[in-house]
């Protein structure tokens, strides 16, 4: 059984959210009502050649835990920004060739790319910080993020909520500023999924741990450290900094393709 089938057959208990890490900053989220969304799936090696031309080693280090075609039955395809390791044209093309025709949610620059790559307007919803989208029992709130550079100024993150259940905050690629925790704290996230890749001006392990403390989350999960030699970092640095902040017991390190259920059981 492939991971796509396993996700479809996975039963999420009432009041819970299940998630699967796909590597890099890609995740699948599933609600008790069966709504399934994928965020930033990077499931090919399309970055290798342009990365090499720019002098970076971004040949992927780990195989994809799921094939793009397996996403086709999911309810929504979310994008945090237009960089190729988040909005991958090869993943998207194979997804659509397999019949993927769900809802696409993306900020402005990413929406322009979706349009250029043939995603019809009727399938796209442009989003921005504080906009909410609802899929059955799953609410998706778009959150503020601070971009890497001037090529895409419309980065976002997402806050996933179940009525009467948990809230999970995925930072997206973002730098740290005081407004970041201030903009999310009122929504009281239970789980923080945070990038830890300061080489490209995103949150460092120190900043990510500070964010976890300011949000007082129950669980803190790192991502965006595993895929490329030119952008790799030991997640233990994040764990160490959580310990410094007094939150060492809240650290969770996920394995690609394995379900994580919250609340934990």
**Predicted pLDDT of residue 262:** 98
In a domain, 257, yes or no: no
Structure tokens at 167: 């809230």
**What average pLDDT score do residues 133-153 get?**
95
Strands (DSSP E) along the chain, which ranges?
17-23, 26-30, 36-39, 76-78, 103-106, 124-126, 132-135, 138-144, 156-162, 167-170, 191-195, 219-223, 259-262
In a domain, 237, yes or no: yes
**Predicted pLDDT of residue 164:** 87
| Confidence tier at 109 by pLDDT (50, 70, 90) | very high
How far is 122 from 194, CA to CA, in rounded Å?
31
Q: In what order do the strands lie in the sheet with 124-126?
A: 124-126, 103-106, 76-78, 36-39, 26-30, 17-23, 259-262
How far is 45 from 23, CA to CA, in rounded Å?
12
In a domain, 145, yes or no: yes
Structure tokens at 5: 């089938």
Q: Is it the case that residue 1 has pLDDT exceeding 80?
A: no
**Predicted pLDDT of residue 163:** 86
Average pLDDT, the chain: 96
What CATH number should be reported for the domain holding residue 115? 3.60.15.10
What 3-state class would DSSP assign to 163?
coil
In a domain, 131, yes or no: yes
Greatest extent of the chain over all pairs of C-alpha atoms, in Å: 49
Report the 10 Å Cβ neighbour count for 60: 20
Give percent of the chain above pLDDT 70.
Answer: 100
In a domain, 262, yes or no: no
**Predicted pLDDT of residue 200:** 87
Question: What is the domain range of residue 136?
Answer: 3-252
Q: Torsion angle, CA of 177/183/189/191, rounded to 10 degrees?
A: -30
How far is 265 from 253, CA to CA, in rounded Å?
16
How far is 209 from 194, CA to CA, in rounded Å?
9
How far is 129 from 157, CA to CA, in rounded Å?
8
**What average pLDDT score do residues 191-218 get?**
96
pLDDT digits (tens, 9 = 90+) for 34-84: 999 999 999 999 999 998 999 999 999 999 999 999 999 999 999 999 999
Strands (DSSP E) along 114-250, which ranges?
124-126, 132-135, 138-144, 156-162, 167-170, 191-195, 219-223
Q: Which of 12-16, 133-137, 196-200 is predicted with the least confidence, judged by mean pLDDT?
A: 196-200
| Confidence tier at 240 by pLDDT (50, 70, 90) | very high
In a domain, 194, yes or no: yes
**What average pLDDT score do residues 21-42 get?**
98
Structure tokens at 143: 């959150």
In a domain, 264, yes or no: no
The structural domain count of the chain equals 1
In a domain, 259, yes or no: no
């Amino acid at each position: 059984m492939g991971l796509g089938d396993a996700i479809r057959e996975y039963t999420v208990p009432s009041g819970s959210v299940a998630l699967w890490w796909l590597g890099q900053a890609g995740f699948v989220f599933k609600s008790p009502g069966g709504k399934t969304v994928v965020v930033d799936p990077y499931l090919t090696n399309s970055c290798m050649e342009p990365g090499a031309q720019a002098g970076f080693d971004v040949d992927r280090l780990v195989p994809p835990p799921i094939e793009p075609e397996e996403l086709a039955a999911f309810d929504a395809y979310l994008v945090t920004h237009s960089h190729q390791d988040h909005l991958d044209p090869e993943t998207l093309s194979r997804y659509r060739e397999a019949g993927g025709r769900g809802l696409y949610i993306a900020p402005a620059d990413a929406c322009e790319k979706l349009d250029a790559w043939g995603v019809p307007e009727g399938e796209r919803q442009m989003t921005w910080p504080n906009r909410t989208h609802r899929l059955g029992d799953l609410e998706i709130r778009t959150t503020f993020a601070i971009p890497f550079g001037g090529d895409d100024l419309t980065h976002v993150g997402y806050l996933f909520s179940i009525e009467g259940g948990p809230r999970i905050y995925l930072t997206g690629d973002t730098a740290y500023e005081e407004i970041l925790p201030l903009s999310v704290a009122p929504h009281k996230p239970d789980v923080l999924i945070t990038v830890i890749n300061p080489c490209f001006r995103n949150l460092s392990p120190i900043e990510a741990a500070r964010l976890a403390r300011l949000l007082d989350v129950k669980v803190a999960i790192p991502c965006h450290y595993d895929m490329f030699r030119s952008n790799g970092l030991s997640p233990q640095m994040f764990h160490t900094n959580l310990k410094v902040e007094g939150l060492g017991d809240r650290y969770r390190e996920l394995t690609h393709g394995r379900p994580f259920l919250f609340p934990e059981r």
